[in-house]
Amino acid sequence: MLALGKLLDLTLAGREPAEKTQLTVGGVRMRWLGEGALEVRPPQGGDNGLDLLLSAGIHGNETAPIELLDELIRGIARGELKPRARILFLFGNPEAMRRGVRYVEQDVNRLFNGLHEQSGGVEALRACELERLAASFFSLAERYRLHYDLHTALRGSKIEQFALCPFKEGRPTSRHELACLRAAGIRAALLQSKPSSVFSAYTRDKLDAEAFTLELGKARPFGQNQQVDLSALRTRLVQMIEGREPENEDDSLEGLQLFSVAQELIKRSDSFVLHLAGDVENFSELEKGFLLAEDGATRWVVEQEGTRIIFPNPRVANGLRAGILIVPAGEDALQARVTPAG
Give me the active site residues, please: 215
Q: Closest by alpha carbon to 33, among 78, 91, 79?
A: 91
Dist CA 245 CA 283 (whole Å)? 31
Alpha helices in the chain (DSSP H): 7-13, 63-77, 94-99, 122-137, 175-183, 199-205, 231-242
> What are the strands, taking DSSP E only, across the chain?
21-23, 29-34, 37-41, 50-56, 86-91, 144-153, 161-165, 188-191, 210-218, 257-266, 273-274, 284-285, 291-295, 298-301, 308-310, 321-328
Dist CA 2 CA 207 (whole Å)? 31
Dist CA 212 CA 163 (whole Å)? 6
Q: Positive or negative, the Cα torsion across 72, 179, 132, 128?
A: negative
Phi/psi for 133 (5° steps) reads: -65, -45
Enumerate residues 6+ apart whose C-beta is below 8 A from 332: none
Residue 223 amino acid letter: G
Residues facing 248 on adjacent strands:
none
How is the beta sheet containing 273-274 ordered, strand by strand? 273-274, 291-295, 298-301
Q: Closest by alpha carbon to 204, among 275, 113, 280?
A: 113
